[in-house]
């Protein structure tokens, strides 16, 4: 892919993520193209339909979340802090981008390559953080990486209509992850 085409694609993904986040997944695709500074033809060349764009935005968002795990692992004071920072980001994604995931699940098979890859990326990223925190004695050792994702997803889903509750529920989650005294 040419450099300018790659830049256009990235701008389209960034703008789509923003527009879907503020205006919902039914927002006009022309608005996404306009914000990205490209014509509708460029948008449709990269993403032939709304479902393809939603899938690409979702996948890109998950790749970003997975990448944050390594970043937090490197610059957090403790492994437990890295887990808390990452789970905060994951639960915020589920809270603020829930419609994206639901639309994608309605459009494609939940056993599709996209969902399989995204689940694998998040489980591996969370597993790496979790294993370090367990080894440091900072979180309990009877959890699996998928448990962390289920907890974060649960917070996002349950706080959809009351986002102000998310911090309180994350606090309860983090307390529950601690090694019992």
Query: pLDDT digits over 74-86, tens only?
Result: 999 999 999 999 9
Closest CA to 88 of 143, 148, 152, 132: 152
User: CA dihedral in degrees (26, 68, 175, 153; nearest 10)?
Assistant: 30
User: Assign residue 178 a region: left if phi > 0, alpha if psi is -120 to 50, beta otherwise?
Assistant: beta
Q: Are residues 60 and 141 in the same domain?
A: yes
Q: How many residues does the chain have?
A: 181
pLDDT, tens digit, 9 for 90 and up, residues 79-130: 999 999 999 999 999 988 877 777 777 777 777 888 899 999 999 999 999 9
Percent share of the chain, pLDDT over 70: 99
Q: Are residues 1 and 39 in the same domain?
A: yes
Q: What is the pLDDT averaged over residues 141-147?
A: 96
Domain that holds residue 66: 50-177
Quote the pLDDT of residue 106. Answer: 78
Q: Are residues 71 and 26 in the same domain?
A: no
Write out the H or E segment, with its range, that includes residue 9. helix 3-23
Q: Are residues 34 and 56 in the same domain?
A: no
Q: How many CA atoms lie within 13 A of 155 on its CB side?
A: 24
User: CA dihedral in degrees (58, 157, 139, 87; nearest 10)?
Assistant: 40
Unique residue bearing structure tokens 């948008």? 43
Question: Please, what is the average pLDDT of the chain?
Answer: 92
Q: Are residues 25 and 85 in the same domain?
A: no
End residue of a domain, out of 48, 63, 87: 48
């Amino acid at each position: 892919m040419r450099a300018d085409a790659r830049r256009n694609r990235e701008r389209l993904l960034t703008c789509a993520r923003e527009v879907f986040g503020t205006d919902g997944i039914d927002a006009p695709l022309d608005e996404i193209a306009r914000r990205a500074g490209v014509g509708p033809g460029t948008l449709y060349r990269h993403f032939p339909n709304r479902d393809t764009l939603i899938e690409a935005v979702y996948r890109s968002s998950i790749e970003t979340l997975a990448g944050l795990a390594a970043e937090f692992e490197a610059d957090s004071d403790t492994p437990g802090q890295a887990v808390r920072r990452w789970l905060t980001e994951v639960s915020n994604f589920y809270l603020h981008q829930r419609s994206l995931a639901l639309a994608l699940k309605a459009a494609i098979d939940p056993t599709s390559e996209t969902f399989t890859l995204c689940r694998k990326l998040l489980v591996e990223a969370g597993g790496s953080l979790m294993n370090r925190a367990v080894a440091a004695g900072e979180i309990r050792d009877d959890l699996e990486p998928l448990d962390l994702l289920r907890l974060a997803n649960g917070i996002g889903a349950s706080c959809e209509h009351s986002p102000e509750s998310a911090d309180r529920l994350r606090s309860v989650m983090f307390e529950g992850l601690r090694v019992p005294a």
